[in-house]
């Protein structure tokens, strides 16, 4: 039985706890959270104990940690967990500062532990099926990628202040998708953005609407468009043009009901937000993590991927702020 310590008993922590509990041969032993009450509720639900980070990391029975606490704790927990020899699953981002993220990657490498970063989109059934078909050559060589990534609504301004900005907070997922789908990396980045949904976003020095262009080392082209607000819900699509065709990943809908009235023929809105859309992805990434640990195979989303996505987010932030093309 592999025993697990979970850091974070909030929204994403609860999802990870449920998925950890579902893995055969895996047990949740500790829940760690500054909010003792939340930790207690979650621990009780899964037959685990509340503990401090020190206790959890010092327990030699703990083989793996799952880090779902706030972003500013990630780097410290990764470093300490690596030092304690634990296998690590950590929510994105590694850190908002690329230097600290690189330090974490170095610490992981020194310790020789597994460290997986939670880019759950790579495990989404639609996205991963698309990638598998791309890899079989079904549409030939990929040439162009267009990513649409829109949230149903902006988070509170308080969150935005600590978010690192839209490129690090929101587009970091899209940068990872870009690298994964094209199996290539960025040679240059151009980004621009606007405040179109709420002036409050601008008041904290951020934007809510962005467009990004990436050229890859092999000359392929990618465009990303994002918005903090899509009135119709969570919009998560991308398409790849290849030399012999196109693959498109569409939104998921709650049901397959169509209604035709005197006004229109209509379908459900997309699944509302990431908890709904990526429910399966969260389960599949956790299964992948423990499968990789069990079999000794590499994880699909390494800490290097986490660092690289952050570097692209930094480059995009620079491009937007300085109004210039950033070469990488």
Interaction residues for a copy of itself, span 111-150 (CB under 8 A): 125-126, 129-130, 133, 138-141, 143-144, 146, 148, 150
Rule CB under 8 A: is residue 318 a binding residue for a copy of itself?
A: no
State yes or no: residue 267 binds a copy of itself (CB under 8 A).
yes
Interacting stretch for a copy of itself, rule CB under 8 A, among 4-12, 70-78, 105-113, 246-254? 246-254
Q: Does 287 bind a copy of itself (CB under 8 A)?
A: no
- Among positions 25, 156, 158, 256, the unique one binding a copy of itself when judged by CB under 8 A: 256
| Residue nearer to a copy of itself on the CB measure, 229 or 300 | 229
DSSP 131-144: HHHHHTTTT-SEEE
Provide the edge-to-edge strand list for the sheet that holds 26-32: 49-50, 26-32, 2-7, 62-67, 87-91, 115-118
Q: In whole angstroms, what is the distance from residue 163 CA to residue 96 CA? A: 8
Q: Which of 60, 219, 295, 296 binds a copy of itself (CB under 8 A)?
A: 219
* E strands present in 68-110: 87-91
Backbone angles phi, psi at 84, to 5 degrees: -85, 0
**Only segment of 7-15, 97-105, 171-179, 206-214 that touches a copy of itself (CB under 8 A):** 206-214
Q: Out of 52, 70, 203, 266, which residue is the one contacting a copy of itself (CB under 8 A)?
A: 266
- Residue 228 binds a copy of itself (CB under 8 A): no
Yes or no: say if 117 and 92 are a contact pair by the CB < 8 Å rule: yes
Q: Please pick, from the candidates 56, 230, 316, 326, the single residue that binds a copy of itself as defined by CB under 8 A.
A: 230
Cβ-based nearer residue to a copy of itself, 110 or 321: 321
Q: What does the alpha-carbon distance between residue 27 and residue 20 come to, in Å, rounded to a whole number?
A: 7
Among 203, 245, 294, 321, binds a copy of itself (CB under 8 A): 245
Question: Which residues from 166-205 bind a copy of itself, rule CB under 8 A?
Answer: 188, 190, 192-197
Phi and psi torsions of 111, nearest 5°: -75, -20
Question: Considering beta carbons, is residue 102 or 229 the nearer one to a copy of itself?
Answer: 229
Say how far residue 177 (Cα) sits from the centre of its chain: 9
Q: Are 4 and 63 in contact (CB under 8 A)?
A: yes
Distance CA 155, CA 274 (A): 13
Q: How far is the CB of 250 from a copy of itself (least distance, A)?
A: 4
As measured in angstroms, the least distance from the Cβ of 224 to a copy of itself is 9
Contact pick of 244, 291, 294, 321 for a copy of itself (by CB under 8 A): 244
Nearer to a copy of itself, 88 or 214 (CB): 214
Shorter beta-carbon distance to a copy of itself: residue 3 or 198: 198
Encoded tokens for 61: 């029975």
Give one DSSP letter per residue of 45-74, joined into a string. HTT-EE--HHHHHH-TTEEEEEE-S-HHHH
Judged by CB under 8 A, the number of residues near a copy of itself is: 71
Rounded distance between C-alpha atoms, residue 68 and residue 91, angstroms: 6
Least distance from a copy of itself to the Cβ atom of residue 192, Å: 6
- Residues 222/213, Cβ–Cβ less than 8 Å: yes
Among 199, 262, 295, 296, binds a copy of itself (CB under 8 A): 262
Q: Compute the distance between CA of residue 135 and CA of residue 183 in angstroms, rounded to an integer.
A: 10
Q: Which residues pair with 236 in a beta bridge?
A: 149
Pairing of strands 142-150, 221-227: parallel
For residues 261 and 295, which CB has a smaller minimum distance to a copy of itself in the complex?
Answer: 261
């Amino acid at each position: 039985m592999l025993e697990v310590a979970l850091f974070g008993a909030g929204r994403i922590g609860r999802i990870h706890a449920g998925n950890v509990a579902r893995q055969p041969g895996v047990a949740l032993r500790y829940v760690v959270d500054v909010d003792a009450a939340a930790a207690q509720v979650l621990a009780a639900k899964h037959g685990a104990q509340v503990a401090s980070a020190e206790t959890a990391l010092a327990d030699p029975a703990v083989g793996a940690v799952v880090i779902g606490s706030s972003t500013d704790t990630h780097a410290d927990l990764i470093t300490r967990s690596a030092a304690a020899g634990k296998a690590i699953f950590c929510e994105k981002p590694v850190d908002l500062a690329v230097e600290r993220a690189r330090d974490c990657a170095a610490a992981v490498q020194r310790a020789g532990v597994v460290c997986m970063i939670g880019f759950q989109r790579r495990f989404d059934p639609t996205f991963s099926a698309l990638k598998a078909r791309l890899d079989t050559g079904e549409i030939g060589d990929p040439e162009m990628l267009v990513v649409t990534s829109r949230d149903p609504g902006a988070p509170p301004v308080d969150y935005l202040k600590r978010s690192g900005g839209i490129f690090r907070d929101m587009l970091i997922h899209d940068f990872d998708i870009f690298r994964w789908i094209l199996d290539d990396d960025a040679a240059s980045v151009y980004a621009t953005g606007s405040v179109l949904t709420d002036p409050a976003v601008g008041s904290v020095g951020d934007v809510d609407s962005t467009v990004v262009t990436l050229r890859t080392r092999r000359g392929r082209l990618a465009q990303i468009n994002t918005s903090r607000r899509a009135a119709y819900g969570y919009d998560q699509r991308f398409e790849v043009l290849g030399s012999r065709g196109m693959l498109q990943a569409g939104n998921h809908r709650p049901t397959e009901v169509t209604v035709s009235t005197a006004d229109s023929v209509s379908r459900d809105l997309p699944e509302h937000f990431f908890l709904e859309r990526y429910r399966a992805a969260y389960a599949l990434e956790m299964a992948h993590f423990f499968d990789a640990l069990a079999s000794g195979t590499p994880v699909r989303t390494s800490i290097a991927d986490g660092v690289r996505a952050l570097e692209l987010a930094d480059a995009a932030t620079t491009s937007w702020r300085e109004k210039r093309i950033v070469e990488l």
